[in-house]
Amino acid sequence: MQSMSDYYSAIQLRLDQWSALRELTAGLDNHGMHATQEKSRAAIAELLQSLALIEPYWAFPGMAAFEQIQRAFQSGSNDRLAFACNAISRALASGAYRRRAIELDAAYWPALNGVGVNALNAWIKAGKPADDPRRDEARAMLQRSMKANPDQPKVASLLLKYQL
């Protein structure tokens, strides 16, 4: 098990833990216990214990959902556990949960920032092509965020720096 001191970012630690949880739960079955499954369940328990310390500080997936995952693990509902861990891990890795927040509240500026910065980073990694739709998405999301909350000097700085 890795700890925060092994990472430069709590975000990356959390993402890695959810990814490991996804991989481990995908290997569980509902047909009894065997040695490999016992080892996997021990590792899952350790990951859930570690995540329980940091999940209260994050809005997604939320403590209610995390507690449901813990209950599914404790009750041996491996299919439900694997499905939930897969969905959460994929949403965290892709940022899809931010898009869902925007669907629910179009002026939710933290989600707009998240989607905008992800698009901006992808555009930068691609070499900043002028006609890239990721640049357009970054501009649109960050401008919407500024409209929703004008008091964001860092976002304003990004818009100016990258001429969005």
Asked if CATH classification 3.90.930 holds for the domain at 97-161, the reply, yes or no, is no
Q: What are the start-end ranges of the H helices in the chain? A: 10-26, 35-54, 63-75, 78-94, 96-104, 109-125, 133-148, 153-161
46 contact partners, CB below 8 Å, separation of at least 6: 1
Sorted by where each begins, the domain ranges of the chain are: 4-94, 97-161
| Phi, psi of 76, rounded to the nearest 5 degrees | 80, 20
pLDDT at 32: 56
Residue 160's pLDDT is: 96
Euclidean distance between CA atoms 164 and 162, whole angstroms: 6
pLDDT tens, the chain, 164 aa long:
555 566 678 888 999 999 999 999 998 876 555 667 888 999 999 999 999 999 998 878 888 889 999 999 999 899 999 999 998 998 888 878 777 777 767 888 888 898 899 899 999 999 999 899 999 999 999 999 999 999 999 999 999 999 99
Which residues have a Cβ under 8 Å from the Cβ of 3 and sit 6 or more positions away? Answer: 13
Structure tokens belonging to residue 162: 């990258």
pTM of this structure: 0.64
What does the pLDDT read at residue 36? 73
